[in-house]
Amino acid sequence: GAVVSQHPSWVICKSGTSVKIECRSLDFQATTMFWYRQFPKQSLMLMATSNEGSKATYEQGVEKDKFLINHASLTLSTLTVTSAHPEDSSFYICSAPPPDSHGYTFGSGTRLTVV
Amino acid sequence: EDQVTQSPEALRLQEGESSSLNCSYTVSGLRGLFWYRQDPGKGPEFLFTLYSAGEEKEKERLKATLTKKESFLHITAPKPEDSATYLCAVPRSYNTDKLIFGTGTRLQVFP
């Protein structure tokens, strides 16, 4: 089945530093990937759509200069949280539509804690 | 406004006690409804896709059904390992892969 790999699974960083999260489709090509954020006991909220070969599109209220997205290849998208602050602490999850379009595949998530 | 609402928020069951989870939606032009299971600290795991009213899908102790306004996830004789949060999601509109998620149902099954 379609597999999406996400790294790291958890990261702790100091306030003001940047953190990069990687999302890879292992056995299929993904021209589009999605980045979600999930706060404790809340559901997934779409942050942005990552497009291979073009700029990412961001949901309303999401700062594109803080959450930099790069879709470097057909199998890799990265999310960089720049100048992280404690309020950016959250669970970040990526997703890609698999080739057969029967259910979107999600990565295992990255727990970001900013101290 | 497009919405996906799940109920109950939390459900505690004794092992073997069957029950149902509800997902209601208001998105027009439904292009599939998805059920996921999410364990703590993990990404959602795909369970089912339902495309049209009347459709049913089964997997082990789980059965998902769909009507024009809602979907049910029936859990028959649950086991403790079925404990998780169950999420439903629908595409925001007919021509997009962007998903709207419900807030989920946290299921706990006790032995």
**B95 phi/psi in degrees, rounded to 5:** -115, 30
As a whole number, the mean pLDDT across chain B is: 93
Cα B46 to its chain centre, rounded Å, is: 10
Task: Find which of B98, B106, B107 to mutate to test the A interface (most A CBs within 10 Å of its CB).
Answer: B98
Q: Which chain A residues contact residue B34 at CB under 8 A?
A: 103-104
Query: A39 CB near a chain B CB, below 8 Å?
Result: no
Mean pLDDT throughout B17-25? 97
CA–CA–CA angle B106, A111, A114 (5° rounding) = 125
B5 touches chain A (CB under 8 A): no
A104 touches chain B (CB under 8 A): yes
Please identify among residues 48-77 of chain B the ones whose CB lies closer than 8 Å to any CB of chain A: 48-49
Tokens linked to B42: 């993990």
Mean pLDDT of A65-72: 94
Q: How confident is the model at residue A104 (pLDDT cuts 50, 70, 90)?
A: confident
> Scanning the structure block, which residue is given the tokens 């949901």?
A59
What confidence tens digit (pLDDT) does each residue in B50-99 have?
Answer: 999 999 999 999 999 999 899 999 999 999 999 999 999 998 877 777 88
B57 and B104 in contact (C-beta within 8 Å)? Answer: no
- Average pLDDT of the residues in A61-76: 94
Mean of pLDDT values over A97-113 = 86
